[in-house]
Amino acid sequence: MSQSTTQKADAGLREGVMSGPELAAQAIASIAPSAVIAFTAASIFLGAGSGTMFAFVLATIVILCVGYIISMFAKRHASAGSLYTYVAQGLGPAGAFAAGVALLIGSWGIAAGSLGGAVSYMSDLFVIFGVESAGSTPWLIALAVIIGGGATFFTIRGIRISARISLVLELLSVAIILVLLVTALIVLGDAAWDPSQFSFEGVPFQGVAAGMVLGILGFVGFSSADALGREAKDPKKAIPRAIMWSAVAVGVLYVFSAYTQIAVLGDELGEVASPLQAVAEKVNMPGWFTPILVFGVAASFFAVVVAPLNVVGRIIYVMGKEGMVPERFGRTHETHLTPHRVLLIAGPAAIVLDIILLLAGTHPMDITVWVDTYGTYGYMVAYSLVAIAGVVYTTREGIKNRMIWVTATVAVVAMAYVFVANVYPVPAFPLNVIPYLFVITMLAAFSRYWWIKAKRPAVLDRVGKTHVEEMAGIG
């Protein structure tokens, strides 16, 4: 089927319907800050101690460097192709395909992993309300089907409804946690001031560096608004703002939450199973607050199932329009104007993976750790490629790029460090085999690229050229 025929049959994506707050919701929901706050500060504290805040500050700086480069591309190329389209501008079809596949692995992996988190916390919520069997395997599977099916439905139903649901759930979740943290500081009174957290004295710098790795992982998906180039209002201005300001806001939130958890719990932070619930108990929050807190984290996990699926759908949609994947994926639903064919595969695939792991006796939160780790490798590769592409693109186009060089260097070195830190020292099974699964997936995907290069080389000339003005549709 020719490109023109494909585009004529395509209803297109809905144009200019996403506001700035809705774009920010897409970005923040992909990060799932509430879920990160619930666990990451405690994990970093084990190695960094009172330097936990510094680890989050460094992670925020690294992410802003990546965001600066992505924003540079977003100001010039509004597309639904996200980093796949951006990398094409600097590294050509091969680099674009690598970035696209890596980002698909990252987005789908985070969605599937976060489904496990949503199942875990919803199960805990039912147990709190007296449903003791909610932790059984049949219950967990039923929750996976309901939650995953709901996320898939909303992404197909429309970008605005899925973004608004993500916005409401994430704002609710963050508000619940902020109420807890602010209340804790008020209760502490003068003891809330902890000067040791602002001093480098006794801070283990190796622990801070290792903590920075965990902090960076807490930002993956922050640039997901760049996949809404068609659907955003004034995308060349709104998307860069959403990317940078969401990263800043989440970074500040991470730093504040780390400070408060350490100020309240001290050394206990590295020992408790649920830091936020421990904070609630420490400051004598009323009993009814615990289920609200658990619901808030569950809501955050649900939002981060929805948001990455939106990204998966749009990247495959652009790839389909350009011929890098079967052209039938380059068409949208005639009524909802969403890439439903992709979403009807990606959503159920996430559900099936979680069910298989649950049947194998895996705890839902272990699913989150394992599958999110798989997805994180994809993000690390995609972020590195877009940083390198930014240098190549600006140099070739004669664009002033001193800051691009600086930010790209920081980004690539940091991503390399994150990758190495995740494979050495060799982690326990199954984390030790996940890097190999990632590499195998990338190589398997590249068989498609090599086939196209050999059989349909003309398709490669279309890679990276599908922008807003070329996404014909009725939207």
Query: Mind listing the pLDDT tens digit for each residue in 346-381?
Result: 999 999 999 999 999 999 999 998 999 899 999 999
Lowest average pLDDT, out of 40-49, 134-143, 246-255, goes to: 40-49
Residues 21 and 238: their CA atoms lie apart, in Å, by 9
Q: Name the band, by pLDDT with cuts 50, 70 and 90, for residue 1.
A: very low
Residues 415 and 399: their CA atoms lie apart, in Å, by 25
At position 416, the amino acid (one-letter code) is: A
pLDDT above 60 for 469 = no
Beta bridge partners, 232, equal: 18
Question: What predicted TM-score, i.e. pTM, was given to this entire model?
Answer: 0.90
Name the nearest CA neighbour of 108 among 382, 410, 299. 382
Q: What is the pLDDT of residue 6?
A: 42
Asked whether the beta carbons of 383 and 59 are under 8 A apart, the reply is no
Q: At what angle do helices 159-188 and 20-31 cross, to 10 degrees?
A: 70
Q: What is the pLDDT of residue 55?
A: 93
Q: Name the band, by pLDDT with cuts 50, 70 and 90, for residue 474.
A: very low
Residues 337 and 332: their CA atoms lie apart, in Å, by 5
Which residues are within 8 A (CB) of 443 and not within 5 positions of it... i.e. 6 or more apart? Answer: none
Q: Name the band, by pLDDT with cuts 50, 70 and 90, for residue 470.
A: low
Beta bridge partners, 18, equal: 232
DSSP 90-140: HHHHHHHHHHHHHHHHHHHHHHHHHHHHHHHHHHHHHHHTT-GGGGSHHHH
Q: Name the band, by pLDDT with cuts 50, 70 and 90, for residue 404.
A: very high
**Of residues 178 and 9, more confidently modeled:** 178
Asked whether the beta carbons of 95 and 389 are under 8 A apart, the reply is yes
Section 76-88 average pLDDT = 87
pLDDT above 90 for 136 = yes
In terms of phi and psi (left: phi > 0; alpha: psi -120 to 50; beta: otherwise), the region of 114 is alpha
Q: What is the pLDDT of residue 467?
A: 61
Q: Name the band, by pLDDT with cuts 50, 70 and 90, for residue 35.
A: confident
Mean pLDDT of the chain, nearest integer: 89
Section 261-286 average pLDDT = 90
Q: What is the pLDDT of residue 10?
A: 66
Question: What is the DSSP-derived secondary structure letter of residue 273?
Answer: S
Q: What is the pLDDT of residue 7?
A: 45
Q: Name the band, by pLDDT with cuts 50, 70 and 90, for residue 9.
A: low
Q: Name the band, by pLDDT with cuts 50, 70 and 90, for residue 225.
A: confident
Asked whether the beta carbons of 110 and 374 are under 8 A apart, the reply is no
Section 43-51 average pLDDT = 89
pLDDT above 80 for 26 = no
Q: What is the pLDDT of residue 57?
A: 95
pLDDT above 60 for 206 = yes
pLDDT, tens digit, 9 for 90 and up, residues 55-78: 999 999 999 999 999 999 999 888
pLDDT above 70 for 4 = no
